Structure 1
Amino acid sequence: MVGEYGLALELLERGRSASWSQLLGLRVSLDGVRAVDVALADKMCDIAKILQFTGAQHDYASAPNESAYAREEMAGNRHRLLVNEWNNSVEEVRKLPGCERFLFPKTVDELMLAAEDGPVVVITPVGRRTNVLILLPGKDLGIRAKKSRLGSLDPWDETDDWVEKDRAEALFEDMLSELWYKVVRPIFDAIAIAVRSNPPDVVQDRIFWCPTGELSLLPLHAAGDYTRAERGHKIYDFVVSSYIPTISSLLNAQRTSNTAAAPRILAVAVAQPTGQVHIGGTKQEIQYLRSHFPDNEDKRFEEVLENNATRESVLHSMRDASWVHFACHGVQDVSQPTKSALLLTGTEEIMLENLIQIDLPQAEFAFLSACQTATGSDTLPEDSIHIAAGMLMAGYKGVIGTIWSVFDRDAPDVARDVYGYLLRKKEGAPDYKDAAMALHLAVEGLRERVGTKAYLSWVPFIHIGS
């Protein structure tokens, strides 16, 4: 890569998703350290667990008559000691052979490895210009897209009043068209994806989108000219799209699967937590999943449903599961994104901050069939903080989520078709890396049923990760 592009990529990756940086540092794989110094690896693992689970808020033992201030000061001092111990341990690791760059920011050569499964496209809006860096397998390239002013994701943004359906549809189509002609097609030209009137019957090429700023709120996976009915004018005619919050997160997700055995699957369903409307399709989703395990003799499938779906029980079951499916309500907290949550029985919930604190050694794939699980915050567009990204950071390698609310009638059909594809093989273990293609085909089927212009039905579903 030309030096300036490589430096730009390194700096962008360092600044990207700043809110995740410390957590990712604590969750780093210690396998390389353990191969050289088992005792040091175990020590760091213990420190990391304490820092992850408690931070500065740990309720350390204190005398009954101590003031709240004294207890807080003690907790803070203990936390600082642990942080210092962690930092000292990191320095010890860097003295070990082969570990000299442990926890250093990744170099451009390391970041380039993320493109092993397909182009990685980092898009940064700068004023009216869109800058693009593209990573290709074994190659590198930097381009600048045409100057453009992109539309808004929300067709109702331009007014406080409700917009008529036809007008809203037209605004949305304009935005998708701008994404297609001013962002996606120039990128396709740069990486030699031929946009033609006779696209392949079976789309197999993958592309990984890493948008920043306002573009992280826009549905690049749905870009296209929807005034033209024929094939060859929409992004999904040519590639299978996935999103990533950072390049490093993709590299982490691409690590070898934890096990070659068939996955253990956990299904969680809560139709109506306290204060929420009833979701009509949760039972149907679980039935579709259950149908793939008619006898379940090997206990590969577990259900945690309705009143049994407490935070404690769900988190406990997640530790043993490699795949997890949530059919429930999700809520996005735009003011405090880490408080965004999956709603369980009664008033219980699993917040984003809970997900990034738990240890999930078997984690591979998560399907969040809930509303707003991959909705970013317009106040923190650079941080990609949402529940689906939290699942990725917690150790899952691939995640299906939604960027806004979905219809009850659509979610069961998408879940049925996704698992129908993932669990189609009679022999051999299902592969979580098939999830992107599974969703691509499931949404294609949904479009055929509801119509291409039923954007609110099919656009929300996205794949994140490897």
Structure 2
Amino acid sequence: ALMYLETGRYVITGITISSKADMSELSKTEPELAKRYEELRRQYAKASKDLEKREKYREAREIQRDEQIRQIPGWQTFQLALSEDAVKYLAMEGPIVVVNATPICCDAIVITQEIISVVKLHEMTYKKLAEYLATTTISDALLRLWTVAVEPILAATPLTPSRRVWWLTTGIAGRAPFHAASDHRPGSANNASSHAISSYIPSLKALHFSRSKRSNSAQAQMMLLVTMSTNPAPHHNLDTSYEEAAITKTFGTSKTHIAHPTPEDVLSLLPNFPFVHFACHGASIAYDPSQSGLLLTQNNPPAMITISDLEVDLIEGAIAYLSACFTAEQPDGKLADEAIHLANSFQALGFQHVIGTIWGADDRAAGEVARVFYERVFERESGVGGWDVAGALHGAVKAYKDEENADVVTWGPFVHIGSS
């Protein structure tokens, strides 16, 4: 059942991820075959979409090429779904929880290194979940989410010493903030953040892809900082000074700062930087998620850098911090399981870690969380190599929450997407 679920979601971006992950290794051993395969894929990706005959020919040619590659020793699983053992191996740093919410039933598939098990969520129904998310206050919705879903899931899930949990959500569950589920009354430990350090992943293959690009402390710490402090109406101006100061303190002369750039400016520089931080407005386009984007400028008039623009080839992506509203908001409706939003798109682009927001972020909270995040992110590495990015975000959010006695509306939107 898990493999069927994985096959049916994140299909559009998953094709790109699979090709990038497999091609990078294949090109080392079979460069000519890898080149021909990639040329074929690119040729038909750019072709017009109006000929059914062309589509059938494309499928036949790609299948033929896949089979040719699978004849090479060591490449028998090229572009195939992950095996059960491979899926369990992904849980070596902490359990993966797949939350499934349908009109038929609601449950969670819990993946650990030892076993894949199912937790029935008897108190959660599709109808009630939709009502929580649509009609109640955020605090009430998070309390219900804790009671009917997160508490029983964590009670049945053995955590590792790192307390890491990766959430993979399907359908309407993709709009539920499991990392922030809680009873937020003073002194209460009945909340997800007291028990676990949460990350999100759009698919198992995406996690596998991210792990294959694991960064380490030897990587050049070059930062591209993109800011939009002054914005065209109706967007309000932003105080980006907290973030600018924090990044300058951390990266020093390794920082390149571009203020009020055009989309072309950003896209031309993006491939050269393993670290990128956007401090600007974001827009989520529900009816066409591929047009969601970040607000920049184009000779003073507003311009967007959209998801559909993100097709550059990165040298080595480490962390993309998207300090803008709605950058990790899940689309609704028919495209829910495609998980098309900016944060996932930056991960598919090649960034191992992405920080995003699932609803509008308060300017001061965004600045303070970013400041503490950059103070902490390079302090220590995770247990298996690479920086503890999720831990740094978790700590930064907790520090802001505790110091300001902040409401969940201000600290709740920040999420980590990626591997460690």
Q: TM-score of the superposition, structure 2-length normalised?
A: 0.89
Are the aligned partners of 2:14 and 2:205 in contact in 1 as well (CA < 8 Å)? no
- Match of 2:208? 251
Q: 1:82 to 1:291 in 2, by over 3 A?
A: same
Structure 1: where are the runs of 5+ without partners? 1-7, 58-71, 159-167, 195-202
The 1-side partners of 2:309 and 2:392 are apart by 28
RMSD: 2.8
SS in 1 for 2:302: coil
Deviations 1:46-105 (A, max 9, x none): 4444555x3538xxxxxxxxxxxxxx87xx988887665544322210111111121112
- Match of 1:197? none
2:168 counterpart of 1:210: yes
2:45 counterpart of 1:56: no
- Match of 1:64? none
Which of 394, 399, 419 is the matching residue for 2:349? 394
Are the aligned partners of 1:281 and 1:411 in contact in 2 as well (CA < 8 Å)? no
SS in 1 for 2:110: strand
Segment of structure 1 superposing worse, 135-144 or 77-86: 77-86
Structure with higher Rg: it is 1
- Match of 1:63? none
- Match of 1:30? 23
Q: 1:97 to 1:46 in 2, by over 3 A?
A: same
- Match of 1:313? 265
Q: 1:95 to 1:438 in 2, by over 3 A?
A: same
Alpha-carbon shift at residue 236 of structure 1 (Å)? 0.7
- Match of 1:139? 115
2:228 counterpart of 1:270: yes
Are the aligned partners of 1:44 and 1:89 in contact in 2 as well (CA < 8 Å)? yes
Paired residues for 1:253-402 under 5 Å: 253-257=210-214, 260-294=218-252, 296=253, 300-306=254-260, 309-345=261-297, 346-355=301-310, 357-379=311-333, 380-402=335-357
Q: 1:20 to 1:328 in 2, by over 3 A?
A: same
Deviations 1:173-230 (A, max 9, x none): 3322222122112112212469xxxxxxxx9410000111111101110111224x22
SS in 2 for 1:319: helix
Q: Which amino acid counterpart does residue 251 of structure 1 have in structure 2?
A: H
Q: 1:378 to 1:416 in 2, by over 3 A?
A: same
Deviations 1:249-305 (A, max 9, x none): 1111111436632332111111234334233222331222112244x2xxx321121
SS in 2 for 1:263: coil
- Match of 2:5? 12
Q: 1:128 to 1:223 in 2, by over 3 A?
A: farther
Paired residues for 1:403-422 under 5 Å: 403-422=358-377
Alpha-carbon shift at residue 138 of structure 1 (Å)? 3.2
Alpha-carbon shift at residue 319 of structure 1 (Å)? 0.3
Q: Which amino acid counterpart does residue 403 of structure 2 have in structure 1?
A: R
Q: Give the aligned length.
A: 410
Q: 1:22 to 1:87 in 2, by over 3 A?
A: same
Deviations 1:16-49 (A, max 9, x none): 2233333334333324423432211222334444
Which of 134, 139, 161 is the matching residue for 1:173? 139
The 2-side partners of 1:157 and 1:145 are apart by 20
- Match of 2:410? 457
- Match of 2:76? 100
- Match of 1:234? 191
Are the aligned partners of 1:364 and 1:432 in contact in 2 as well (CA < 8 Å)? no
Are the aligned partners of 2:238 and 2:280 in contact in 1 as well (CA < 8 Å)? no
SS in 1 for 2:101: strand
Deviations 1:89-131 (A, max 9, x none): 2221011111112111222222222212110000101337421
Q: 1:317 to 1:133 in 2, by over 3 A?
A: same
Are the aligned partners of 1:403 and 1:460 in contact in 2 as well (CA < 8 Å)? yes
Segment of structure 1 superposing worse, 43-52 or 78-87: 78-87
Are the aligned partners of 2:231 and 2:237 in contact in 1 as well (CA < 8 Å)? no
Q: 1:258 to 1:330 in 2, by over 3 A?
A: same
Are the aligned partners of 2:213 and 2:352 in contact in 1 as well (CA < 8 Å)? no
Q: 1:267 to 1:20 in 2, by over 3 A?
A: same
Structure 2: where are the runs of 5+ without partners? none
Q: Percent identity?
A: 28
Deviations 1:418-459 (A, max 9, x none): 11111447x9xxx7641111110111111123324x121011
Q: 1:26 to 1:48 in 2, by over 3 A?
A: farther
Structure number with higher relative contact order (C-alpha < 8 Å, ≥ 6 residues apart):
2
- Match of 1:111? 87
- Match of 1:3? none
2:398 counterpart of 1:444: yes
2:14 counterpart of 1:39: no
Structure number with the higher helix fraction is 2
Which of 151, 163, 171 is the matching residue for 1:185? 151
Alpha-carbon shift at residue 358 of structure 1 (Å)? 1.8
Are the aligned partners of 2:11 and 2:338 in contact in 1 as well (CA < 8 Å)? yes
Q: 1:152 to 1:133 in 2, by over 3 A?
A: closer
Are the aligned partners of 1:221 and 1:241 in contact in 2 as well (CA < 8 Å)? yes
